[in-house]
Amino acid sequence: MNNIKNIYIMLTHSGSIPSSMIKFYTREPYSHVSLSFDVNLNEMYSFGRKNLRNPLVGGFITEDIASGIYLIFTEATYALYTLSLREEQYMRIRESILEFERLKDDFSYNFAGLLGIMLGHPVNRQNSYFCSQFVAYLLERSGVEIFDKPFGLVTPKDFRTCSSLKLMKSGKLSYFNSEMNIENTLIAN
């Protein structure tokens, strides 16, 4: 029997101008998707801005909830989901992340892919992703098929409404650590 491992999918809305434009267009509560192997979200992986002052310079990023964009936008909201995987799927995702980290300077943000979303036609460019496309790509590449569309058309809404994902909690991101500490204390007792 295979061991089951969990990954965590974090949906957020920071309130930045680009995220607000996405939220306005999609009419969805969240505009960004990240993946983590850690329920405390000490390290999350996604595609987004590499420079806090310039949203036009983007690519593969490592995030955490206590710094970067989330430190600046204190009103950020979130929804944290868990996804149970077979151990081999989990390990494939981990290996893919290591590859992305090793080649991080070779990746860029797929702005054309956002236009593809609007037109309903995926725009997949080599070494270029937007956040939800990246996480959906990792899942598909690892044999996790939870969407009935190409990864280049997957949006934060698809994660939010996916029946394979289980909502753990949602709210204001600035309260996340205190809420997690309370829950961890309750579980331990």
Separation CA 78–CA 189 (nearest Å): 27
In this structure, the chain runs to a length of 189
Q: What is the CATH number of domain 4-188?
A: 3.90.1720
| DSSP one-letter string for 65-125 | TTSTHHHH-TT-EEEEEEEEEEHHHHHHHHHHHHHHHHTGGG-EE-HHHHHHHHHTS---B
Say if CB 153 and CB 117 are below 8 A apart: yes
- Distance (Å, rounded) from C-alpha 45 to C-alpha 47? 7
Percentages helix, strand, coil for the chain, rounded to the nearest 5?
Answer: 40, 30, 30
Instruction: Report the distance separating Cα 109 and Cα 103, nearest Å.
Output: 14
Output DSSP code: residue 3: P
Output the CA–CA distances (angstroms, integers) from residue 7 to 21, 116, 182, in the order listed.
28, 28, 21
Interatomic CA distance for residues 101 and 26, integer angstroms = 30
Show pLDDT as tens, one digit a residue, over the chain (189 residues). Answer: 469 999 999 999 998 888 999 888 889 999 999 999 999 999 999 999 998 888 889 999 999 888 778 878 888 999 999 999 999 999 999 999 999 999 999 999 999 999 999 999 999 999 999 999 999 999 999 999 999 999 999 999 999 999 999 999 999 998 886 655 434 433 333
Q: Are the C-beta atoms of residues 57 and 49 closer than 8 Å to each other?
A: yes
Label residue 61 left, alpha or beta by phi (over 0 means left) and psi (-120 to 50 means alpha).
Answer: beta
The whole-angstrom separation of Cα 26 and Cα 47 is 19
